[in-house]
């Protein structure tokens, strides 16, 4: 979950936009994509924390940049369910509330 969270956190992407990014959108210089809702083209420079998350992501055969633990593209429902479950497992026992908002992506997992 590190990569989609990093994309959302550092680029303010909607979950749908982060999860739908094709692998071909990423180059050494940045991310070239379109907003799903508006179709507006967006070019994003590749920030170091996102480059690190990309490097740490397991290899997979999905056409999307982000894949679940089975190597398949994330669905919005699957991602949001995992996000909710991970929130319930926070050390603070937040009862499903995200107590770590604002933390770096390494602290989220």
Instruction: Give the burial class of 53: count Cβ atoms within 10 A of its Cβ; 0-12 exposed, 13-18 middle, 19 or more buried.
Output: buried
- Please state, rounded to an integer, the average pLDDT across all residues of the chain: 82
- Give domain limits for the chain: 2-92
- pLDDT value of position 30: 92
Which residues, listed in sequence order, are joined to residue 34 by a DSSP beta bridge? 41
| 61-102 residue pLDDT tens | 999 999 998 999 988 888 888 877 777 666 655 554 444 444
Q: How far is CA 66 from the centre of its chain?
A: 7
Q: How far from 15 is each of 3, 8, 18, CA to CA, in Å?
A: 11, 7, 5
Read off the pTM.
0.73
């Amino acid at each position: 979950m590190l990569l989609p969270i990093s994309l959302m956190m550092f680029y303010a992407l909607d979950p749908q936009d982060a999860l739908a990014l094709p692998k071909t959108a990423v180059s050494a210089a940045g991310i070239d994509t379109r907003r799903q809702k508006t179709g507006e083209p967006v070019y994003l420079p590749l920030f170091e924390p996102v480059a690190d998350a990309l490097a740490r992501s397991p290899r997979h055969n999905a056409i999307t940049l982000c894949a679940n633990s089975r190597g398949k593209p994330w669905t919005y429902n699957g991602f949001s369910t995992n996000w909710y479950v991970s929130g319930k497992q926070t050390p603070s026992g937040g009862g499903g509330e995200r107590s770590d908002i604002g933390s770096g992506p390494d602290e989220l997992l």
